[in-house]
A = this chain, B = another copy of it.
């Protein structure tokens, strides 16, 4: 398809490679930022299936503007997601750098649980299966080694059982984050402790875990209740 009026100057180059994106007009750029801010707020509070009209209302723009700026719903979600993944990765790296690996792991778990408990949208995106969400998949691939490093450190230090993977940590975070309302962080902390007790190496050794391979998709169903039938 050839989108008229989008390239501005008639380009004589007609190859598919001239995907030079011209900058948005000033007001459009401002609105884009307003929409992103509003979406962050609304998604955090209501989850990903909040309506565009609500976002438009909070942003103070018309619905049409939201649709023009983000023709695909996924564009908006993924734009937000990439910023959030940065924060999670940073936190994982910080945790991995802790001189006390167990404390690092514990803090990452607690923080992740609260982050997802406070932001329904984040939890849902993180759980999105790969179906056409390349940017989400990429983000998660970026997250994975950071958590893996955290796991490896704790295991090398002999405090984390060896049969635990970085996916276990991700699943544990998502699982525990569903406990209680927004204000029940103390309760969630209880289960963080409980699960960590199960994850810890003890003198009399934990029961061996069956080596069931977990796939990325297993994360999906914890939060996203399979709305598509």
A interface, CB within 8 angstroms of B: 46-47, 120, 168, 171-172, 175-176, 178-181, 184, 186-187, 189-191, 193-199, 202-204, 206-207, 209-210, 212, 214, 217-218, 220-223, 225-226, 229
Please measure, in the bound complex, the distance between the C-alpha atom of A196 and the C-alpha atom of B198, giving whole angstroms. Answer: 7
- Decide if B204 touches A190 in the complex (CB within 8 Å): no
A217: chain B residues within 8 A (beta carbon): 181
- Decide if B204 touches A189 in the complex (CB within 8 Å): no
- Decide if A212 touches B187 in the complex (CB within 8 Å): yes
Q: How many copies does the complex hold?
A: 2
A199: chain B residues within 8 A (beta carbon): 194, 197-198
- Decide if B180 touches A221 in the complex (CB within 8 Å): yes
- Decide if B229 touches A184 in the complex (CB within 8 Å): no
A223: chain B residues within 8 A (beta carbon): 178, 225
New contact pairs (8) apart from A175-B191, A178-B221, A225-B225, CB-CB < 8 Å: A175-B178, A178-B222, A178-B223, A181-B217, A184-B221, A194-B195, A202-B203, A202-B204
A226: chain B residues within 8 A (beta carbon): 120
- Decide if B210 touches A190 in the complex (CB within 8 Å): yes
Partner of A193, one of B196, B207, B220: B207
Minimum distance in angstroms from A54 CB to a CB of chain B: 9
A171: chain B residues within 8 A (beta carbon): 179, 191
Please measure, in the bound complex, the distance between the C-alpha atom of A209 and the C-alpha atom of B190, giving whole angstroms. Answer: 6
A191: chain B residues within 8 A (beta carbon): 171-172, 175
Could you list 20 A-B pairs, sorted by A, with CB under 8 Å? A46-B229, A175-B176, A175-B178, A178-B223, A179-B222, A180-B221, A181-B220, A181-B221, A186-B212, A190-B214, A193-B209, A195-B195, A195-B198, A196-B207, A197-B197, A197-B199, A197-B206, A198-B198, A202-B202, A225-B225
